Amino acid sequence: MKQSFLIFILSLSLTMPCFSAFGETIQGDSPTNPVTTETIKAPELNAEAAILMDATTGEILYEKNSKSKMYPASITKIMTVLLALEKGNLNDTITFSHDAVYSIEPGSAHIAMQEGEQITLEQALYGILLRSANEVANAVGEYVDGSIPAFAQHMTQRAKELGCESTNFLNANGLFDENHYTTAYDMACIARELLKQEAYQKMMSNTYYEIPPTNKQTETRYLHGQHQMLNPKSIYYYEYATGGKTGYTWEALNTLVTFAKKGDTQLIAVVLKCKGAEHYVDSKTLFEYGFSNFQTVKVFSARDYIKTVNVVETYKNKTTTLGSIQVVPKEDVYKTIATNTTLSDLKIDVNCPETIDAPISEGQEIGTITAKTGKDTITTSFVAQSAVAATSEEARLAQEKESKVKLLKTIGTISLGILLSCLIVFAVTRTIGHLKRKRRKRLRTLRRKKYRR
């Protein structure tokens, strides 16, 4: 009887639609690999939602329910670290408030920071990345925006700027709140932006860090990383993994963001709602699928398309050249293609003006460069490498005054020249006349002497 009941329950569960933690029906379609239309067998994952993204191009290589709302748990801290690096200084001192220390749930991840204790922002970020310390995430949020509510709003707004469509953050650490949610796609976008930070690139692969004694703590804190794909002693170690962030709450289960690099191809894997060690197994499966089937290739290098543009200014129908600037494509352009293919029919179309009107600011977009390969078109902007200001009113008045002075000087010089020329002509004429009169007088004198004889 019990066996029949279990079979009935199992068959019923297989016929029911899947639901996410938010009560939304999860997409029933098979996982996809959008970057190519060729048939490549997609991996089978245990994660309820997942995505594999090329970190360089942003192209999606695999997705499963990637836009279903899910609870992120501590991978939330990727955004916390991103904002800290964008707005802070690694040498700044962070002081822990009462709320930062005591607002976290009992038993949740921490490194025993005390109220009034001080560490640097760099030390705080290691506490977040390696130990997922919730009170440290709180302190970083307060450091950036003054309070956790203000920081949470900042997090959500920054997510929208990055193209995240279904993310809402209510805290800096990812502790459960039913209105604190994201998607696999959104987390990949946030992770991709974090990867652009040079400071994070230097920190991401570290699995050990020490925080020396502080104003409140006499002992050194020894921080060991939790991400097992980075730990050479772990059975889940993955040689190409370079960084990432773990997460877990009872509601979210295991969540994981991982970076991996093989050759010139760098990938981001996000898996959500995994049981046990499924998050490590699924992430490795995604990476092996990605590296086996796709590669990142450079379409063109920005330095090969440096242009010189003249900066001009028109005033009272007169155009003046103020100088010239160099413009360069905003970035090197890359493309994700299948491993067994190459770029085909590559054409580069440069659309950059020879002249442009002032003012020009550094980084301003000026023209575009488009790469066409096969059916794909990739466009990026030329950006100014320096600034050229427009002529100010004060400078213009000074120029006009100087022009008037020059004009008067020129008129004076010309007038003086004319006067001198007239005087010279007059003097020459008088001299010639005098010589002629003198000659005539001499001739008359000679004639008279001749007649007298």
Interval 162-192: pLDDT, tens: 999 999 999 999 999 999 999 999 999 999 9
- List, for residues 89-125, the tens digit of each pLDDT value: 999 999 999 999 999 998 999 999 999 999 999 999 9
Per-residue pLDDT, 38: 55
For residues 38 and 83, is the Cβ–Cβ distance under 8 A?
Answer: no
Per-residue pLDDT, 453: 60
Residues taking part in catalysis: 74, 77, 132
Per-residue pLDDT, 172: 98
Per-residue pLDDT, 417: 81
Cα separation of 451 and 453, whole Å?
A: 5
Per-residue pLDDT, 351: 94
Cα-based distances in Å from 347 to 302, 332, 379, 381: 15, 15, 12, 16
Phi/psi of residue 408, each to 5°?
-65, -40
For residues 337 and 343, is the Cβ–Cβ distance under 8 A?
Answer: yes
Cα separation of 197 and 215, whole Å?
A: 30
Which amino acid would we find at residue 85?
L
Q: Indicate the burial class of 14 (C-beta count within 10 angstroms; 0-12, 13-18, 19 or more).
A: exposed
Q: Which residues of the chain have pLDDT under 70?
A: 1-39, 395-396, 398-400, 405, 450, 452-453
CA angle 132, 110, 93 (to 5 degrees): 85
Per-residue pLDDT, 412: 76
